[in-house]
Amino acid sequence: MAQAGISQQASVQKDDSMLRQKNMLSDYYRRVASAHEEGKKIVYTYVPGNLAELFLSFDLVPVYPEINSLQSGMRKKSARYIQAAEKIGHSEDVCSYVKSDIGMMLEGNIGPTGERIPEPDLLFLSYTGCFTFLKWFENLAQHYRAQMILLQTPYQGDGKITENMKRYMVRQLREEIIPQLESFSGKKFDEDRLREMLARSARAEEDLVAVLQSARHRPSPIDAYFGAVYYIAPIFTAFRGTQECVDYYASLRAEVEERVALGLGPVTPEGPLSQERYRLVIEGTQCWTHFREFWKMFYDEGAVAVASSYSKVGGLYDTGFRHDPNDPLGTLAQYCMGCYTNLNLPTRVELLEQYIREYQADGFLVNSIKSCNSFSAGQLLMLRELEKRTGKPGGFIESDLVDPRYFSAANIKTRLESYLQMIDQKRSGKVQ
């Protein structure tokens, strides 16, 4: 999940929505930097299952450590931060997001705009599907000596959200979480204000789904893996529930619908894609240290991601979920439990199979991340099962989130080219 990098080379081409998102992010980091001076309190939290609307209803400023880490990766600083974390004892096998964040913290916590990100007043964990997140926050709590709140989120072990699971979370929110936030913020919970924010979230979510589903067209007007990191950033983080978020997604939808009407493909860093040769569904997170180089390997071949699991890490809106202002606490509970990585493997396979068929993909590609067990566990099994169910060829490449030691351009390029050749052979009938 994630936000696209603020610092990019001047030659990179972006469509209007990408530029607007960049400006939104820059303004956000400046607001974060001055939050304490303005008397506001800062909450560190995570993208999956984040309760942005609830925080904003208390006038709290959310900060996302994994977003800071991916920004460090895109700015080519994560390698140094990771080494700093490993020097104080963190293992090479630990999630590189964690080590990059801790290294950044050790070196002064300087954000993407060159301004210092203030220390947290509160650590809030509302997603427990990744055990690393819990240990990450325990480390931060020890360092910052900050209060930590844990909202226990049930895992969808049986592939569904039951009423008991929802009631359990609503009870936590009503009886434990909200009273703690009232005490922490010094403000009374305003349910009407929360409802207004949830209504705005639902409007933005509707437009985001329209954008992602535009990839059903030929050619796809978007890239749903690389380009989508720009599109999902505001709604997966600190903007959801705001009018700024609503306006962004309305303009993004209009922009994409215009591209559909004109029969245009996605905008790449080197300009519009002229020819769509391969339509892929991609599983796995991004490699942020080599984002542009990685993307270029795809668009040079005319390969477009028409759907991806990563673009759903902060919410599976295209399966029908919308934040419901008529059930404020219930809808927050469902959102937390509905994250992609909170689904069991059979459910993930079913979802990806649906994408392959619905978006008429030529194949399914896994980008397996060395240090992210939450995504990578079971991916080979998923790949083989999808090949069996759909008859489409599967491919497998490997990289990492923000550790450049595990990005081999030559290896990835060779594997990708071989995989696309396999698709060509499948089309020609030479491979059964």
Can you give the residue ranges of every domain in the chain?
A: 16-428
Q: Averaging pLDDT over each range in 216-225, 314-323, 338-347, 420-429, which range is the top one?
A: 216-225
Provide the CA 261 distance to its chain's centre, in angstroms. 28
Q: Residue 373: its pLDDT value, please?
A: 81
H-assigned helices in 300-393: 328-337, 345-358, 373-376, 379-390
CA distance 346 to 368: 18
Contact 123, 140 (CB under 8 A): yes
Is the pTM value of this prediction over 0.85?
yes
Residue 32 pLDDT exceeds 60: yes
Q: Residue 119: its pLDDT value, please?
A: 95
Q: State which amino acid sits at residue 318.
A: D
Question: Can you give the length of the chain in residues?
Answer: 432
CA distance 304 to 221: 10
DSSP 117: P
Which residues contact residue 224 at a Cβ distance below 8 angstroms, ignoring those fewer than 6 apart?
212, 215, 282, 305, 306, 307, 308, 311
Which is more confident, 427 or 96?
96
Residue 304 pLDDT exceeds 90: yes
Residue 5 pLDDT exceeds 50: no
Q: What percent of the chain has pLDDT over 70?
A: 96
Burial class (CB in 10 A: 0-12, 13-18, 19+), 146: middle
Q: Rounded mean pLDDT of 162-168?
A: 96
Decide: helix, strand or coil at residue 255: helix
Residue 395 bridge partners (DSSP)? 365
CA distance 389 to 271: 36
Buried b (16+ CB within 10 A) or exposed e, 402-413: bbbebbeeeebb
Locate tokens 């000596």: which residue?
145
pLDDT in tens, 212-248: 999 999 999 999 999 999 999 999 999 999 999 999 9
Q: Residue 21: its pLDDT value, please?
A: 87
Decide: helix, strand or coil at residue 363: strand
Q: Averaging pLDDT over each range in 172-186, 337-351, 371-385, which range is the top one?
A: 172-186
Locate tokens 């060395």: which residue?
370
Q: Residue 2: its pLDDT value, please?
A: 42
DSSP 176: I
Q: Rounded mean pLDDT of 59-87?
A: 95
Q: What share of the chain is helix, strand, coil (3-state, %, to 5)?
A: 55, 10, 35
pLDDT in tens, 197-209: 999 999 999 999 9
Q: Residue 430: its pLDDT value, please?
A: 65
Q: What percent of the chain has pLDDT over 90?
A: 81
Residue 14 pLDDT exceeds 80: no
Q: Residue 10: its pLDDT value, please?
A: 44
Which is more confident, 113 or 72?
72
Nearest-Å Rg of the Cα atoms of the chain is 21
Residue 8 pLDDT exceeds 50: no
Residue 35 — pLDDT band, cuts 50, 70, 90? Answer: very high
